[in-house]
Amino acid sequence: MEIAFCRIDDRLIHGQVATVWTKVTGCNRIMCCSDEVAQDAMRKKLLLQVAPPGIKAYVVPVEKACEAYKNPKYAPFKTLFLFTKPADVVRAVKGGIPFKSVNLGGMTYKDGDTLISSAVAVNQEDVKALLELRDMGIEVEIRKLANEPKGDLMSALQAKGLV
């Protein structure tokens, strides 16, 4: 399986992903990787329905995504991997998916979070996972829209006193 792109966006498949990121990445598959979402029948059904025409979508637990990545029968797939949180990307890398770059595109603000860009709010667990990805040699860039310049994770975290 070829990795077309890896994005963290807690909305998973939505308008921007369906209309722009799929075209920019040239993917023919979308894999939403989340243990929680894979167990939520309603959310899973909705995500599968909003996949763009001609692109097959899956909603799977992180472990199953790792298994699929390693399975030769999926070799023809050029996959856009979507995650809801950085810790799941760490699990995927440790499970054998060799991401070289991760796009931090959208994480909704919740009480106690710190906003590090117009679309990304993080908590301490997120910061720990993002730093772990960086320490693994994986580029983590902040970018909501495909036509925006890549934002630097470390600069954003430092500006908010998180590192």
Active site residues: 14
Q: Which residues of 11-28 are buried (b: 16+ CB within 10 A; e: fewer)?
A: ebbeebbbeebbeebebb
Q: Which ranges in the chain belong to alpha helices (H)?
A: 15-16, 22-25, 35-39, 41-49, 62-70, 86-94, 124-135, 153-159
43/41 Cα distance (integer angstroms): 6
